[in-house]
Structure 1
């Protein structure tokens, strides 16, 4: 699962990394507590060109009559993404990359208190989540929405949570975006051992209104 994440890399650096044309509305600031329904930066491949653009985090199936008509779909399970009606067309035709500095996950202590962890790349380079996207329109309401693909947790995450976002290495980006032929389904797996590192952070991040770089500082257990 992925319910909150962090993005601190500058727009220009990310556009260069992905060889994508940036949109003018991208959030151009460090964000330490991105929550569902927030705008997020996403890479798509459309008409033989990559775009770095903004989407709403929270996938809206085309049959929703309003943004709150059904469950908030922030994640899509790799095991069912190709057959679940909400996601199957996006899985085939509208895949995207969602870059992040890191993400949060939670465990509980013996008293049931939620204990937050910050998960990041071992190399301190961007994590790149596999995503899918969908345009949704009802009258004057228009949203371009996305969800993060998740899979069963690997050895690097299973002690913290039973799910993890699918993270893609640079050599896999073109395949996930549909630029390098078929076979994207093979990428929906847990990160190799060692790619993800985690440490405890301050419980103040439990509040979705919390912000600031102190949220990702190590916190004594």
Structure 2
């Protein structure tokens, strides 16, 4: 899965990487958690100057997908991820797969290697980032939920797929990464049916990411400084610590509802 990530690139770098016409300024965010506002990229109805491709624009949405048919989000599960293997058929995601595919820029993501409950060991957190030090774009889905009083909330989920060999030593799922040369095809919901972009929803190349062991500071979304990414002398990749070093669960998530 993907339950925590970071976006520390400058607005200018994000705009250049994703081909945005413009984007408003925003601060570096080192520990983005579910229910918080996240930056996403969509295709607009306007065409790029000198091109037949649509412009791309950015906007903020709530991380936690809510289908339009939900009556009360408080009674609906928090959908931060959508499985790539089933998103085309699932009632919650089927319409968004067809009409509202998005990109989610990220500088990397966090994942926890969790041992068996009876092992006497505890989870180890990893900061997983591109080896080239740049950023990536996760595949995502967007939906606008309307309340009975007419107010609207834009929501999103990140698509995940089975891990590649590198990630499998930490977790069995990873975010779907869309390559820059495939941005337009993924975002083109007019000409590209879900089945036409199914080949993009695959594990990332083995050499894309590196994993850095980090402390349990990242477990709490209240910890938002760059120190959550400080490397520690951790166990070998995919190994865990003894229970007495166990991190506490995260609290303090923000909500747009």
Q: Aligned equivalents of 2:171 and 2:9: distance in 1?
A: 26
Match of 1:177 in 2: 187
| Structure holding more helix per residue | 2
In 2, Cα distance between equivalents of 1:193 and 1:180? 32
CA contact (8 A) 2:40 2:61 kept: yes
Tell me if structure 1 keeps the 8 A contact 2:7–2:29: yes
Aligned 8 A contact 1:33 1:208 in 2: yes
Give the Å deviation of 1:23.
Answer: 5.2
Q: What's the CA shift for 1:181?
A: 4.3
Of Structure 1 and Structure 2, the greater strand share is in: 1
Distance across 1 between alignment mates of 2:188 and 2:8:
27
Q: Which moved more, 1:7-16 or 1:164-173?
A: 7-16
**CA-CA distance at 1:206 after TM superposition:** 1.2
* Equivalence for 1:209: 222
1:218: Cα distance to partner?
Answer: 1.0
Structure 1: segments with no counterpart, 5+ residues: none
Which deviates more, 172-181 or 125-134? 172-181
| CA distances 1:148-183 after superposition (whole Å, capped 9, x unpaired) | 000011112000000000011111111110179432
Give aligned pairs, total.
219
CA deviations on 1:108-141 (whole Å, 9 max, x unpaired) are 3542422110101111110210001011111243
More off after superposition, 162-171 vs 108-117: 108-117
CA RMSD of aligned residues (A): 1.6
Offset of 1:63 from its aligned partner?
1.8
1:179/1:145 Cα in 2 relative to 1: closer, same or farther (>3 Å)?
closer
Q: Is the 8 A contact 1:37 1:56 kept in 2?
A: yes
Which of 177-186 and 206-215 deviates more?
Answer: 177-186
**8 Å contact 2:99–2:190 — kept in the other structure?**
no
Q: 1:192 aligns with which of 205, 208, 219?
A: 205
Q: Which 4+ stretches in 1 moved above 6 angstroms? A: none
Matches within 5 A, 1:129-144: 129-138=138-147, 139-144=149-154
Runs (5+) with no aligned partner, structure 2: 46-53, 235-257
TM-score by length of 2: 0.81
